[in-house]
Every structure is written in structure tokens, then in C-alpha cells.
Structure 1
Amino acid sequence: MKTIILVRHGKSSWKYDVGDRQRPLKTRGLNDIKLVAKEYIKFGELPEKIFSSPAKRAYQTCKIFIKTCELDQKEVTIIEELYDFNGRNVINFIKSLEDTINSIMIFGHNHAFTSISNIFGDRFIENLPTSGLVKINFEIDNWKSLEKGKTELIIVPKDLR
């Protein structure tokens, strides 16, 4: 079995004159990802590998999530291809993973994560909101065989406030 946990970055700030990759999180984004991480901890399943988009808002989200879940010992790998908005690069990255890895968590962007959730999960999501988390399980032995799986968990901040 393989598991993918997708976490969309927190709400970002537009008040700074910086490029898209450098946009930081807003205070709401910081608070929302802590709520989602605390809720996720209740399910007790931590990923083997954690990957993040290089965008500041995604990596900040990742660091906050890891700290909140007390996963400081986990190594995060920043992957250029995860700075993706349509999902093709994320899917290609997932399909290229080593089969010895069974569970991953990816911090990234929309519309990629909404699309991937709908392509591979069995529950329709109109839009994965900022700080939203989706966990999908797959009855496969290798990542290249990625096919329709079962959406096990959806956590969105507005349900936790």
C-alpha cells in the first residue's frame, strides 16, 4: 500500500513587493496550518518522507507543520518540480519515487492539489483551501502504477475554527 498526504500552503500575504516564489504566509496562514497539524496528529500516521515546493509560502507551511507535529527529526526535501500549479509535474514526481517508500507528504500549491485529489481520490473536492490536507491511500506496490485510490482524510481549517 502507498499513501500520499497533500498539504496546500497556508494563506499567503500579498502586501510585500516580492515575486511569487518569495511570498510569505499571513498570520492567518500560520495559525491555520497549526490547527490542521494538530488535527492530523490525532490520526497518528506520520509519513516516511516529506517533500516541499521551493516557494517560501509552501516551505514555511511545511516547517510549521513539522514543528507542530514534533517531526523535527524528519528531513524535508525541497523539489523544484513541486512548484507546480496544474499537477503534471507533481504526478510525474510521485510516479518516479522509489518503491521502498510507502508514505509521503507533499507541501505545495493549488490547482495542482485539487486536481490530484480529484484524479486519484474517491471523494470530489471542489477546491482544496489554503492549509487544507488530503490523505489518499492506494492498493499498489509501486508508484509507477498510481491509480484511483481511497480518500481517507480531508482536513480544512474552517472546520476546526
Structure 2
Amino acid sequence: MKTLTLLRHAKSSWDDPVSRDFDRPLNAKGRRAAAMIGRHLKSLDFQFDHILASPAVRVMETLDEVWNGYGRRLEPVWDKAMYLASGASLLDLVHALPENADHVLMVGHNPGLEDLTLDLTLDGELRERVEDKYPTATIAQMTLPIARWAEAQSNSATLIAFIRPRDLDPTLGPDTP
């Protein structure tokens, strides 16, 4: 049995005049949401033995805040292939994960993370929430009945958690006019 946890980067700032999308930083709300998710991961005793992350600035800053909330820093493997990757490309990365890793955290972008979640998981109430929207700083955790990551396939995983920042603090939900 393997466990895969996907984290979408926190809310980034469109106000910052950066020349490339890759360089966009988090905004204040995104920083608060990421730290809260980190505290929640710690409270649920989530453990990771391998972390794969996009090297985009907003992902790096998301992880910095998550680790601040989590209470300890875990070092990811930075992989540019994660930057804006499709669900199919992310599945290729899953297939290549180290076999000795049983609980992997992947941190990246949408729509790839949402597509990967929907591709891997079986129908159910949590999956319907993913279909509705996979917001920033949201965690999707699934178990896969496999011994090796290369065996991961469509419609085989069970989605066991889908945690949005607004579920923990309503002020971290969508902005209201």
C-alpha cells in the first residue's frame, strides 16, 4: 500500500510585477493558508518519506510556510517537470517515484494536480468535491493498493482526505464582494 498526498501551492500575488509566471510570489492570504495547512498536517500526524515539488517561487514559498506550521522542515526534490505539468505528466512522475518511499507528498499546480486526483481516484463524495474545485493550498490524500509506484493506474486509488484552507478557517475561503 502506498499513500500519495498532493498539495496545490497557496494563493499567489498577481499584484507583484514579475516578468515570468514562474517567479510569482505568495500573497498574505496564501502565506496564512499554507501555514495553517502545515499546522493541520502536524495535528493529523501526516508523515512523508519523499517530497517532490515544482521549483516555482510560489511552490517554494508555500512549502516554507507549510514547514513553519508543521514545526519541522522536510527537504523536497525540486523537479522542473512539475511546473504546470498535466495530469498525465504527473502520473509519469508518480511511476518514477522511489520504491522505498511509502508516503509521498507532491507539491505543484493546477490543473495538473486536480486532473491527477480525478484520474487516480474512485468515485465518492470526496472526489465530487475535487470535481467541484481544487482550491489553492488544498491537500488531497489517497491510498493506492500497490507495492510499486509503477503500478499506479486510473481509478484505483481511494481518496481519504480533501482538506481546503476554508475548511479550517472560513476567512481563507473565496473573497466575497
Residue correspondence of structure 1 range 1-161 to structure 2 within 5 A: 1-18=1-18, 19-72=20-73, 74-122=74-122, 123-124=127-128, 125=130, 126-147=132-153, 148-161=156-169
In 1: Cα distance, 2:121 partner to 2:42 partner: 21
In 1: Cα distance, 2:63 partner to 2:89 partner: 19
**Could you tell me which residue of structure 1 aligns to residue 174 of structure 2?**
none
Give the AA of the match of 1:103: H
Deviations 1:37-88 (A, max 9, x none): 222222212110112101100111012112221232x222111111024222
| Deviation, structure 1 residue 103 | 1.0
Identity score, percent = 24
SS at match of 1:131: coil
Count of aligned positions: 160
**TM-score, normalised with respect to structure 2:** 0.86
Segments of structure 1 that go 5 or more residues without pairing to the other structure are none
In 2: Cα distance, 1:62 partner to 1:30 partner: 10
| Deviation, structure 1 residue 108 | 0.4
In 2: Cα distance, 1:71 partner to 1:118 partner: 30
Segments of structure 2 that go 5 or more residues without pairing to the other structure are 170-177
Please tell me whether the aligned partners of residues 38 and 69 of structure 2 are also in contact (alpha carbons under 8 angstroms): yes
| Deviation, structure 1 residue 33 | 1.1
**TM-score, normalised with respect to structure 1:** 0.94
